[in-house]
């Protein structure tokens, strides 16, 4: 039986979010490697959550004492898991909540698709945003279409070949990490999953969206009402996150490994991100400033952690 380790990145975690996540992961995986980006010498809250869990001996905590970014934390957790000879790693944010059968369902999806398709880099669940209540489809490139569209898995076709998967909920074989490599640390946060997935696809691997696997996920920090040919709800991000999303997206635009069609289609989403936050967001001036700085730093290849007032 394959051994699976969970990797959870934490940053000022909240007990109401992390405690139930931890219980679900302890019930579904062999060990949980928590990598904490919270600044300070210690994190008593994180320590107490682990100690009060159903299996504290299977909670392995690594603390940086400073925020080194999600990519560095994911890499640390994956490296520690690989040293324990785990067959798979399951990546997770601290504010996710998987269904009770999510990991088993993802593993079944991987086994089926690996037999059918060969090289599978990762499988990911269908996720619902806890702020907007929206359940997201998967990005997919349909035959005969110039640009990518979105596919909702069905009972007849429960597994979708996707162009990208979000970090949280992604199940990745250990052998794939050694072939594709780890996450790109100079991205710091945002677009880390996109870059890794595109790199894997460039090497001939596939990404699979698994319809029956379910997860709840907090996208952004809240929801905001936006006019876009009618009123709709979109995810709200802090100005700092807007900086990283746009800076790293510009870097992706310059990456020759990524299909130009994805770049064109995704540029429309980035314009929507700017429109949403500079017109309707509560911090319009700050968001405009970080958006401009993010675009300029991306053009100049100024990467890593940046000191920006949020």
pLDDT class for 310, splitting at 50, 70, 90?
A: low
pLDDT in tens, 24-65: 999 999 999 999 999 999 999 999 999 999 999 999 999 999
228 contact partners, CB below 8 Å, separation of at least 6: 234, 272, 275
4-217 topology per CATH: Spore Coat Polysaccharide Biosynthesis Protein SpsA; Chain A (3.90.550)
The predicted model scores a pTM of 0.94
Q: Is 172 exposed, middle or buried (0-12, 13-18, 19+ CB in 10 A)?
A: buried
pLDDT in tens, 276-308: 999 998 999 999 999 999 999 999 999 999 887
- Cα(292)–Cα(302) distance, integer angstroms: 13
The full set of domain ranges for the chain reads: 4-217, 222-300
Helix ranges (H only) for the chain are: 15-28, 44-51, 70-83, 102-117, 174-180, 192-202, 239-253, 260-275, 284-300
């Amino acid at each position: 039986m394959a051994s699976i380790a969970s990797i959870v990145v934490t940053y000022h975690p909240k007990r109401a979010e992390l405690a139930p996540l931890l219980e679900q992961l302890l019930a579904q995986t062999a060990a949980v490697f928590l990598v904490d980006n919270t600044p300070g010498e210690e994190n008593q809250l994180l320590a107490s959550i682990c100690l009060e869990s159903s299996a504290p001996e299977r909670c392995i905590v690594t603390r940086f004492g400073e925020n080194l970014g999600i990519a560095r934390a994911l890499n640390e957790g994956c490296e520690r898991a690989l040293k324990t000879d785990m067959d798979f790693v399951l990546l997770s944010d601290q504010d996710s909540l998987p269904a009770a059968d999510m990991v088993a369902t993802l593993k079944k999806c991987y086994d089926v698709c690996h037999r059918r398709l060969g090289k599978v880099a990762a499988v990911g669940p269908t996720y619902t945003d806890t702020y907007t209540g929206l359940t997201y489809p998967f990005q997919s490139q349909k035959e005969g279409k110039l640009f990518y569209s979105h596919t909702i898995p069905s009972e007849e076709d429960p597994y979708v070949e996707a162009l990208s998967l979000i970090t949280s909920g992604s199940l990745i074989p250990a052998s794939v990490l050694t072939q594709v490599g780890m996450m790109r640390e100079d991205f710091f946060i945002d677009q880390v999953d996109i870059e890794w997935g595109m790199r894997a696809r460039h090497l001939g691997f596939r990404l699979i969206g698994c319809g029956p696997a379910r997860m709840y996920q907090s996208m952004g920090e809240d929801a905001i009402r936006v006019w876009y040919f009618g009123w709709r709800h979109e995810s709200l991000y802090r100005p700092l996150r807007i900086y990283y999303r746009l800076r790293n997206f510009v870097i992706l635009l310059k990456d020759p490994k990524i299909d130009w069609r994805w770049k064109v289609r995704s540029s429309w989403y980035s314009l929507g991100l700017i429109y949403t936050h500079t017109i309707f967001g509560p911090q319009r001036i700050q968001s405009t400033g970080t958006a401009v700085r993010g675009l300029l730093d991306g053009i100049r290849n100024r990467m890593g952690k940046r000191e920006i007032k949020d």
